[in-house]
Structure 1
Amino acid sequence: MTRSDVTDFDVVVVGAGVAGLTAAVAAAEAGARVAVAERAPRGDAGGNTRHTEAFLRMKSIDEVSDDFEEKLLGDFQGHPDPGLLVESLRDPASWSAPLRSLSVADQRVVATLTERAGPTLRWIAGHGVRFERLATAFLTTSTTRLMPVGGGLALVDALTAAAERLGVAFRHQTTARGLLRADGRVAGVRTSRGELRGRVVLACGGYEGSAELMARYHGRGGRLTRPVARGGHYNKGEGLLMALDAGAATAGDFAYFHAEPVDPRSGAAEAAVFSFPYGILVNRDGRRFADEAPGPVDAWYERVARRIHAQPDGIGYAVFDAGCADVPNLSAAVRTDRPPVAADTLEELAARLGIPADALAETVAEFNRACPDGEFRPLEPDGLATAGLVPPKSNWARPIERAPFHAYPVIASNVFTFGGLKTNDRAEVLDTDGDPIPGLYAAGELTGMYYTNYTGSTSVLRGAVFGRIAGAEAARR
């Protein structure tokens, strides 16, 4: 019998991004027989992890950032029942079903992520990945970051190699379609190539690659987004649907996704335009619609991208003049492989962008009149703010007046969806009564942790931490 004929395993992992691979390696290290079902062919496997730089919100390989827990728990989660929140202060063993299944950030999950981040990175480093503090596309920053040398692809390559050395059986071009259940437990997955039996770790990403689910949860605006990278196109949401069918509870905000401003003309992974704080943003009508520079770009780009998404046809234009050439290393903040739209006059620029020339000229003139005198400090919030302008520009406000002019079209791409499965600190999927579903674990983007604003550089980290936990727990049980 060949490995491809085997269908009985101890642990079946769905997905081969960072969450799935850490789960597979951890389970195999614990002595389990492990299979990984991955929709993509081998050369494209790895989901979003394969295409990201994999920023990590760490001060060092052993310490998370100073604001780590504060940002995750401070994310606005609506107005939950205060009676339930009071109950949450008691012994978790006494919690009611509504509290156990409540869609809010679980403090125990966040604490586990904080405590296990460093040890998990050390463990990954033991499999051949180096972590360093490297340059990012953010010219202004609000936190500390590490990155794996070689980005997310280095994680995928190293962990895949480790898994194969440990005897993990990979089933590429194999899509999980549903959960197998027996005697009240999850007992495996039904796939496009037959059944794989064992305890299940779902690590197959969100639903940004599904037009139907994007329309279901995000309405008409769902069709105006696209995955930020090719890996997201493989994320069709089957993991979410099969778990919901098994009675899973949810967490995270299904009305939102992690938005990144990208050039829609480009097919490159993460063709981001992070330079917009040094210009102005206008919509198809030639009008400004957002404060382009509320603070450091790494902390605010998502919220600005959401404003872009809300504009007609979900598109905006970042407009600059020749003066932006004095911003140090500005080209590093532009990741698109397409050149800007350039012109010698604003009228010509408007014509090339397909927006009303008179409206753009009026918008620029109004903006220029509101710009103050003062020192321009491009690498830190400088308080150089407009006066009497709505919406304001809070930093780096300088007139747009020196030819040549140029612009980038910008849309809000979908990095990953916020709504997902509710899990506990052992990566067990909880049902709608707040109890673990026997035999079912989940990690990564499929799980809900974020609500209105993504805590930057934590997604790969949570995938790695809870993937490792899920694999070890599934193997142990």
Structure 2
Amino acid sequence: MESDIVIVGCGISGLTAAVSAMEAGANVTLLERSCKEDRGGNTRWTEATLRMKNVGEVADDFESHFAENAGHHLDPELIKASGSSYEDWGSIVKAHPFTDPELISTFSDEAGPTLEWLQTYGVRFDSMPGYFITTSTSRIVPLGGGLAVVETLADWIEKNGANIRYETTATSLYMDEGGMVCGIKARGPEGPLLIKAPKVILASGGFQGNYEMQARYIGPRSRYIRPVARGGYYDRGEGIEMALKVGAAGGGDFTSFHAEPIDPRSGAPEPIVLVFNYGILVNRQAKRFVDEAPASVDATYEAITREILEQPQGIAYTILDSKINDVPNWQRSVRTDQQPIMASSLEELAEKLELDVQALTDTVEAYNTACIEGPFDPLRPDGLRTEQGYLPSKRNWARSIDSPPFMAYPIICGNCFTFGGLKVNSKSEVLDGDGRPIQGLYGVGEVIGMYQGTYTGATSVLRGSVFGRIAGRNAASKSRR
């Protein structure tokens, strides 16, 4: 086959790239590993929250949060160099895996125009309440979530002549004798496939569905994590690996991922449990191990989930009592389809959780003794903390657990998407190890290595939209030339 542009992946980044390229007159072929009913990658299964004040403006902390989490122990000379014009950056700066300001500035500038552009295709946005009861930043959502965005764009693409080949997996980049990217080798229902194209856009996600890559990059504790939704199982890292094999520079933190606290009993999409800040978390030894409420839950749940991963067997339990009903609409922060484990006493609860009865009762008694009376405000960090000297302390919403019935939710660490990927510039061009664009190759969405250590919440679907649109536009322009 031949095409102007071949796009690997049919999530938000691949779809926006296709629409953008087709607007510019390019002939586009998309490869999608899943069947049509599952198309859309992670986007299909998410609420797709966006870190925006409104359709036209990013949240006030958008760029600052990225800047604060750009890397670990960065060389000050490198930071100094990145403050100059991008054209003056040296090769080691351009190819460095840190989250560079040039990329984030483009991301911020293009976010509003991209959402306004999506509106012209029928996507609608609003500031609807999500699953966070307390929040530290502003967010909006597309009406109908990620599923509505996927179906809207994919339907338009197919109606306007693009070829989406389902159940087809890209296996490697097709290179000419001069080392130029000129297509994709793939495997589909009919067997091997070669699509010749002067431009390739990798939109195939991270590697949260690839257990070998997770073990290689994240380590042995990855045995305890799983994708948070079905779409993640299709993301197996081939796009990242095929680019690295031809000399692409890596970007982002390959040893980490966006962690979410999920109920291991549930197979529902994103079965998160986000009420531990109103109770306590205990591990398999029935011991507390973390401050459950250092600040607003939307800003702290990822770090707490990583602590859960470090516990024996990678599991913990949220322990609550009937006072959870003082929290308005607390159920919207629990998206599992499984009921809590209920008990009339702590002893009964421990037995149902298969925890040591004496250890759990001792842990709860020590915690209750450390709780200080004071005003409780469930809708914002209230400073109601445990007394000094008690460890681990709890800085907000510290109330005794003594009012039956008692309840518990098991929690494990879910992998929403991996952080490690490819280094790209503000045009979404994949860079080589010397910071030069690899001609004809673009990376978008989770393929981009952008995050370091801490996820800037509600930016992943937005990242896919912004850089997908940029890549499609640039690839179509260069394809015509």
Match of 1:177 among 171, 179, 190: 171
- The CA deviation string for residues 181-222 of structure 1, in whole angstroms up to 9 with x for no partner, is 113321111000301111100000000001100100111111
Structure 2: how far apart are the matches of 1:10 and 1:241? 23
Q: Which residue matches 1:289? A: 289
Deviation at 1:96, TM superposition (A): 2.1
Q: Which residue matches 2:369? A: 369
Q: Which residue matches 2:298? A: 298
- Which deviates more from structure 2 when the two are superposed, residues 71-80 or residues 189-198? 71-80
The residue type paired with residue 217 of structure 2 is Y
Match of 2:130 among 131, 136, 158: 136
Q: Does 1:195 align with 2:190?
A: no
Q: Give 1:61-460 correspondences, 5 Å limit.
A: 61-75=55-69, 77-182=71-176, 183-193=178-188, 194-198=193-197, 199-387=199-387, 388-460=389-461
SS of the counterpart of 1:8? coil
Structure 1: how far apart are the matches of 2:105 and 2:446? 18
Structure 1: how far apart are the matches of 2:85 and 2:45? 42
Structure 1: how far apart are the matches of 2:168 and 2:17? 18
Structure 2: how far apart are the matches of 1:68 and 1:125? 22
Q: Is the 8 A contact 1:25 1:166 kept in 2?
A: no
Q: Is the 8 A contact 2:70 2:100 kept in 1?
A: no
Deviation at 1:112, TM superposition (A): 0.7
Structure 2: how far apart are the matches of 1:92 and 1:60? 30
- The CA deviation string for residues 143-162 of structure 1, in whole angstroms up to 9 with x for no partner, is 11110000000110111022
The residue type paired with residue 195 of structure 2 is L
Deviation at 1:300, TM superposition (A): 0.7
Deviation at 1:94, TM superposition (A): 3.0
The residue type paired with residue 231 of structure 2 is G
> How many percent of aligned residue pairs carry the same amino acid?
51
- The CA deviation string for residues 435-459 of structure 1, in whole angstroms up to 9 with x for no partner, is 0000000100111111111010000
Structure 2: how far apart are the matches of 1:76 and 1:248? 20
The residue type paired with residue 151 of structure 1 is G
Q: Which residue matches 1:3? A: none
- Please give the TM-score of this superposition, normalised by the length of structure 1: 0.98
Q: Is the 8 A contact 1:19 1:466 kept in 2?
A: yes
- The CA deviation string for residues 320-365 of structure 1, in whole angstroms up to 9 with x for no partner, is 0111111110111111000011111111111110111111111101
SS of the counterpart of 2:414? strand
The residue type paired with residue 64 of structure 1 is V
SS of the counterpart of 2:267? coil
Deviation at 1:92, TM superposition (A): 2.6
Deviant stretches of 4+, over 4 Å:
none
The residue type paired with residue 455 of structure 1 is T
Structure 2: how far apart are the matches of 1:207 and 1:95? 30
- Please give the TM-score of this superposition, normalised by the length of structure 2: 0.97
Structure 2: how far apart are the matches of 1:378 and 1:95? 48
SS of the counterpart of 1:358? helix
Deviation at 1:462, TM superposition (A): 0.6
Structure 2: how far apart are the matches of 1:85 and 1:135? 38
Q: Which residue matches 2:8? A: 14
Deviation at 1:136, TM superposition (A): 0.6
SS of the counterpart of 1:59? strand
Q: Is the 8 A contact 1:385 1:394 kept in 2?
A: yes
SS of the counterpart of 1:463? helix
Deviation at 1:45, TM superposition (A): 0.6
Q: Is the 8 A contact 1:429 1:441 kept in 2?
A: yes
Q: Is the 8 A contact 1:129 1:149 kept in 2?
A: yes
Unaligned runs of 5+ in 2: none
Structure 1: how far apart are the matches of 2:269 and 2:28? 31
- The CA deviation string for residues 373-397 of structure 1, in whole angstroms up to 9 with x for no partner, is 1100000100000012211111000
Structure 1: how far apart are the matches of 2:70 and 2:477? 36
Structure 1: how far apart are the matches of 2:79 and 2:139? 32
The residue type paired with residue 333 of structure 1 is S
- Which deviates more from structure 2 when the two are superposed, residues 453-462 or residues 90-99? 90-99
Structure 1: how far apart are the matches of 2:16 and 2:85? 31
Structure 2: how far apart are the matches of 1:377 and 1:81? 42
Deviation at 1:253, TM superposition (A): 0.7
Deviation at 1:76, TM superposition (A): 5.0
SS of the counterpart of 1:456? coil
Q: Which residue matches 1:4? A: none
Q: Is the 8 A contact 1:59 1:146 kept in 2?
A: yes
SS of the counterpart of 2:18? helix
Q: CA RMSD in A?
A: 0.9
- The CA deviation string for residues 79-137 of structure 1, in whole angstroms up to 9 with x for no partner, is 12222222223333232221111111111110111111111001111111110011111
SS of the counterpart of 1:277? helix
Q: Is the 8 A contact 2:86 2:102 kept in 1?
A: no
